Structure 1
């Protein structure tokens, strides 16, 4: 079974970036894919220090989920044109060996129309961790950040865009997983 680690990079209860990951998790479950949500609002991490290692139990939970995953989905609110400090702090704990060769889908939620700057910054971080950026990304902004009672984006075109990105991410995950299994 494919395993996906999803990291919700907001420190806000019911953040739209976290709601988006919950919806994506439902979409993955419908495909018989195991998705583990690491909600940084509920799993606070100490400020990163190279001296601390993984002594904190929450850090161990994060690192175990990332190491065991076949792919990652990172979601962030866009703050001042970049990723949240909470997500950046979590990513600082992750080592190249945890992400190398794994596909990564990035997503953002922005008060404005789109959160392209945070997505670009996330993709740069993914490259530096030797991950494989999914060619799709998801940005929801402004009025498109509403979710229905079923947990899905209220806007039909947003739902379709999310589904298309998830389709491509799953296809990339399957292809890269097969490649890694052949190499092993």
Structure 2
């Protein structure tokens, strides 16, 4: 007997897994710093969280001729991506785009992102709107879902001399993403799994 949607939601609420991807190679990265803060808040809300810091976990440049050459890093990252129910991507703004490191990570996956919700963090002196649009485009192409806002950081304005957050609006946005990535993510993920279980044909989930 297939589980009902409500059964799936109840089950997922006990083990919802949020994976953060830190896409900066910079020491003392502000985007990575905010990512860790949000994941900690999400963990206090009862979620499982983990982080892949691409400064420490180096993936080879994606080669479509050898998409899954087995390295310890690729195997570990693939396992974490498959197990994740939602993602938070963090990146600096490089010339109006995401970091090459983050884009390389995204190139490794497709169906593993489907039916999962994504949140976004951008470190930028210009709000990072084009960066946000590009990340959303990649996720949409992979049949993922995006939280309808991002967390934008300006490291020269949003932190005090001790490195603590000094922007109240940023604090509120951080709290919102820590809540919404679960609150909306669990509904999307659970409905996706329910559609697969019921072999529902009138949904994009049918191809999975």
CA-to-aligned-CA distance 1:61-94 (integer Å, 9 cap, x gap) = 2111111011111111000110000001111111
CA-to-aligned-CA distance 1:39-58 (integer Å, 9 cap, x gap) = 00011111111233141211
Matched, 1:141 2:141: no
Match of 1:168 in 2: 180
Q: Which has the higher contact order (CA 8 A, sep 6+)?
A: 2
CA-to-aligned-CA distance 1:144-177 (integer Å, 9 cap, x gap) = 442787x863322211111123322221112113
Deviates most, 157-166 or 26-35: 157-166
Deviates most, 69-78 or 49-58: 49-58
**Structure 1 spans left out of the alignment, 5+ residues:** none
Matched, 1:10 2:14: no
**Structure 2 spans left out of the alignment, 5+ residues:** 1-14, 198-208
| Distance in 2 of aligned mates of 1:142 and 1:72 | 23
Matched, 1:120 2:133: yes
Residue aligned with 2:156, SS:
helix
| Distance in 1 of aligned mates of 2:139 and 2:161 | 31
C-alpha distance 43-85 of structure 1, shift in aligned 2 (>3 A)? same
Match of 2:39 in 1: 25
Show the 5 A alignment for 1:98-117.
98-110=112-124, 112-117=125-130
| Distance in 2 of aligned mates of 1:113 and 1:173 | 28
Residues 22 and 91 in structure 2, CA contact (< 8 A), matched pair in contact too: yes
How many residues get paired?
A: 181
- Give me the CA root mean square deviation: 1.8
| Distance in 1 of aligned mates of 2:160 and 2:80 | 27
C-alpha distance 109-51 of structure 1, shift in aligned 2 (>3 A)? same
C-alpha distance 54-63 of structure 1, shift in aligned 2 (>3 A)? farther
Residues 117 and 145 in structure 2, CA contact (< 8 A), matched pair in contact too: yes
Q: TM-score normalised to the size of structure 1?
A: 0.90
